[in-house]
Structures are given as structure tokens and as C-alpha cells.
Amino acid sequence: MTNAESIVLVVGSLHHDIMVEADHLPRKDETAVGTRWFPKFGGKGGNQAVSAQLHGAAVRMVGAVGADGFGRFLLDRLAASGVDHRFVVTCPDVGSGISVAIMEPGGDYAATIVSGANLRIDPAGLGHAAVWQDVRLLILQNEIPEPVNIAAATEARRRGIRTLLNAAPSRPMSPEFTRAVEILVVNAVEAEMMGCDPVTDLLAAEAAARVLADRFETVIVTAGAAGLAACRATGEGFTIPAESIKVVSSHGAGDAFIGALAAAITRGDAFKTACTAASHAAAEHVAGRQPGPDAR
């Protein structure tokens, strides 16, 4: 059962994903032959909203889609998943965001996104009281413009609401935005792009988390098959090894992690317990056992 007084607010991207299966990722100037393609609900914001809802949180989303078939597809999937999408606007003069991802049989993938309507989210709309009613946690990512993220995080801070940033894809952060983020979640590549040494194992992930904890109150560095490391600005920290699973696809694993983490935080779980639940959710997703709006 969801707690109507502990809402997760996701401000973020919505993409109509086009998934292509192929026996390998194409090299430069190569035309690879695929074996199958299919549409999929996506965007880091949308995926994280749906994941949090699936893990028991009540979720509200702020975003934007185009007035096209892709936009209707995205809104339908949000509705089917139970996400409150009253504050997802439809833009009549721009297409919905899309991504194209190519997946290898081993689960690795490469993707390209076109932001479209995601660039039209209006920061001024985040000042409306109804957006924040009963919100306990704000989730942000970097697939929308930073001014939108700053407006959301600043308003959350003013209201005493915690902000979790999944800094993906990595990009420079202004001091104003950095100060407003309480929980930072990054993967190995993103940690390195934020100034850490390469993350190749759990020890390196732990070192990266400690470096980033100089700038953020709480940091989680995920290291794929190695697991994760977490650290607080106070110096407390821990590592959690990854579960041993057979990889079906790693596409969307980070979003499954964020959604499960947010749900655990809003229900009041201890931080390490929440991280353990999120790690398990990511493992289930990679193994092909995690449900979603496009479960097959």
C-alpha cells in the first residue's frame, strides 16, 4: 500500500525508446544488421517514476511531451503505472523526446537521445503549491536543463524536502545546484567525470564516494557487477557487493535502482537497508525479472 502523505516527486525526462537488438554494436562507418526492434517507455525521469511506483511509493511527475503519438504513448504508460501525471505538459510545437538504443546479446548497449519536449519544461511551474502537496522526496536527473533542476531543488529546500540527484548523464554543476542537493547517486563513469579516480572495484568506489562526500551530504557510487559504495559527509560509509546474476540486459538498471531507493527512503527504511533494497531491484532488473510499464 502506498502512503499518500509520502509522495515522491520526479522532475525529469520522458523518452519514447526504440530498442534494437543486434549481435554487436556497430563501429564507426559500419552498418550493423539487427534482429528485432520494439518500442519502450523511457527517459530517466519516467523510468525512475515508474520504478518508485512499482516499489510501493506514491509518485507524482513533472515533465513534458509533444503533441504526437509518442507523447500519447508516454502518458498512457504513466497512467497505467499509477503515476500522477497531471503536471506533465503537452507541447504543441515540438516532438516528444526519443532515444534509440542498440543492445548486444550479452546485455551491453549504446544509446542516443533527442530531448525534444524535455527542453520545454517551465521552471516557473515548479512554484505551484499543488506540485509539492505531501511530497517527501524530490528526484532529479540530468536529461533536462539545469535551470529546471535548480528551480526544483531550490523550491524543495525551501520547503524542507530532501533532493536526490542521479547525475546522469554527467555534466558540470553550478555551486547553487550543488548546495541544494542532499543525496547524490552516480555510476563509475559519472564519478570519474566528476573528478574521481577510475572506479574499477568496490575499494575504488568507496574512495570515490568519500571524495564526493566533500561536496554532498550523502553519496552513492554504483560500480556495476562489483556493487556499490556509500558515504556521508560525516565520514560514515559502507559497501554492498552486487548479487550474482545472469545478465539479460543492463539497460535501465540504474533507473530501477533509483526508484527502489526512493521508495525505501520514503517509507522510512534505514539508509543501508534502502541501498540494499535498491541494489536487489537493480539485480532483478538486469536479470529480466523486474516488472515495468512494458514488461514482456
Q: What is the structure's pLDDT at 296?
A: 39
- Residues 55/269, Cβ–Cβ less than 8 Å: no
* pLDDT at position 48 over 60: yes
251: nearest Cα among 80, 105, 82: 105
What is the arithmetic mean of pLDDT over 36-53?
A: 96
Per-residue pLDDT at 293: 57
H-helix or E-strand containing 23? none
For residues 79-101, average pLDDT: 96
| CA torsion, ordered 127, 132, 137, 142, to nearest 10 deg | -40
Q: How confident is the model at residue 246 (pLDDT cuts 50, 70, 90)?
A: confident
pLDDT of 291 reads 60
Nearest to 143 by CA among 174, 110, 171: 171
Q: What is the CATH architecture of 7-25+37-181+243-286?
A: 3-Layer(aba) Sandwich (3.40)
**Least confidently predicted of 96-110, 178-192, 217-231:** 96-110
The residues annotated as belonging to the active site are 255
Q: Which three cell numbers stand for residue 65?
A: 511531451
CA–CA separation, 183 vs 7, rounded Å? 17
Q: Is the pTM of this model over 0.85?
A: yes
User: Considering the chain, what is the average pLDDT of its residues?
Assistant: 93
Model confidence at 106, pLDDT cuts 50, 70, 90, reads confident
Phi, psi of 201 (to 5 degrees): -160, -175
Q: What is the maximal distance between C-alpha atoms in the chain? A: 53
Give which of 172, 121, 116 is closest to 12, Cα–Cα: 121
Percent of the chain's residues with pLDDT above 70? 96
CA dihedral 82, 37, 281, 269 (to 10 degrees): -30
pLDDT at 289 over 80: no
User: What's the chain's Rg over C-alpha atoms?
Assistant: 18
Burial of 101-111, coded b for 16+ CB within 10 Å and e otherwise, reads: bbbeeebebeb
d(C-alpha 187, C-alpha 103), whole Å? 19
What pLDDT does residue 290 have? 66
Query: Residue 154: is its pLDDT beyond 70?
Result: yes
Give the rounded percent of residues in the chain with a pLDDT score beyond 90: 85
Q: Among the listed ranges 25-34, 58-67, 181-190, 285-294, which one has the minimum average pLDDT value?
A: 285-294
Band (pLDDT 50/70/90 cuts) for residue 251 is confident
Q: Kindly state the average pLDDT of the residues 234-258.
A: 88
pLDDT grade, residue 204 (50/70/90)?
Answer: very high
Nearest Cα to Cα of residue 287 among 242, 252, 250: 250
